[in-house]
Amino acid sequence: MDISILVDDPRILEKARHSHRSPAGGFAGFRGGQFLPVAVVAEESARAYQEVPNLLREFSSSFGMLQQLYHQNALLVSEGKTAVPLVPLGAIENQMKAGIRASYLSAMTLGKRAAGDLRATTDEEQAYLKRLRLDEYQFLRGFTGDMRTGGGRMDYGERAEWYVNAVREVFWLGWVLGQKPGSVISWHNGDTAHCRSCDEFASHGPYSLEDFRRDVLDRGYLPQAGALDCRGFHCRCFLTSSDPIPLDEQPGWLEKR
C-alpha cells in the first residue's frame, strides 16, 4: 500500500512503513479507503495536543511584540515627536497578518492531527481558513486604527491576546474537519463559568458529525469562538469524539486566563 498519497510528512511516512500490525492495534481508516497503523495515528494525535502550547506561546510572543512596535510608532506620530513613524505602520500590520496566517495554518494542521487525520489540508479546509482570516483582518484593521488614534477601552496588550485565543478556535476547526465519517461528537463545558451558548451546545449533544457541522460549526460556533455568548476568551470548553482518537479530559492548554 502506498501511503505517500495520504500524508506529506516524511517522519510519519517512515514511521508508518516500519510499523507492524498487532492484534490490539490494527489500522485506522481514512477517507478514500487509505489506512495507517493505529499506533502511528495515536502517537501523532497525542503529539498534536502537546504542541498546541508551544504554538500559542510563540504566537503570543511574536504578535505581542508587533503590537507594541505598532503602538510605539503610532504614538511618536500622534504626540508630534516625529512626522512619520520610524517603522512604517503598514509594514508592521502586514507582519501581524502574516503571523495570523501562519498560526492559523499551524493550528488547523494540529487540530486535524489531533483528530487522527494526517493528510495535508484540503481545498475545503483552506476555504474555511480564508474566511476566518478575512474576519480577523477586519478586526485587526479596527485594532490598528484604535492604536493610531488612542481609541478603544481595552488595554492594547490584553486586546492582542484575543488574537492568540482565536488560534484555539482554529485548532477545534481542524479537529472537527479531521473527524472520520460516522464519528459522534460531544461538547464539554470546561472548568469555569459557562455562558448560555456553551451550555446549549453541551446539553444538546452528542451530535453526529453531520449534525455538528450543520448545527454548530456552520453557524460559526466552536470552543473558544468569538461568536459564543462568552466571546470565547475565558471559554475552556472542549470537544471529544467517539472515533478515531478518544480524549477523556480537558486539554491542559485550556488554562484559566
Chain segment 129-141, per-residue pLDDT in tens = 999 999 999 999 9
Is residue 247 in a domain? no
Cell numbers standing for residue 124: 475545503
Is residue 122 in a domain? yes
Which DSSP symbol is given to 162? H
Mean pLDDT within 193-217: 92
Give the contacts of 216 (CB within 8 A, at least 6 positions apart): 187, 201, 207, 222
Give the contacts of 8 (CB within 8 A, at least 6 positions apart): 119, 120
Is residue 254 in a domain? no
Q: Tell me the C-alpha distance between 200 and 223, whole Å.
A: 12
Total count of domains within the chain: 1
Give the domain extent around 16: 3-241
Is residue 249 in a domain? no
Mean pLDDT within 74-79: 94
Mean pLDDT within 1-9: 38
Is residue 252 in a domain? no
Could you tell me the pLDDT band of residue 190, with boundaries at 50, 70 and 90?
confident
Is residue 246 in a domain? no
- pTM listed for this prediction: 0.81
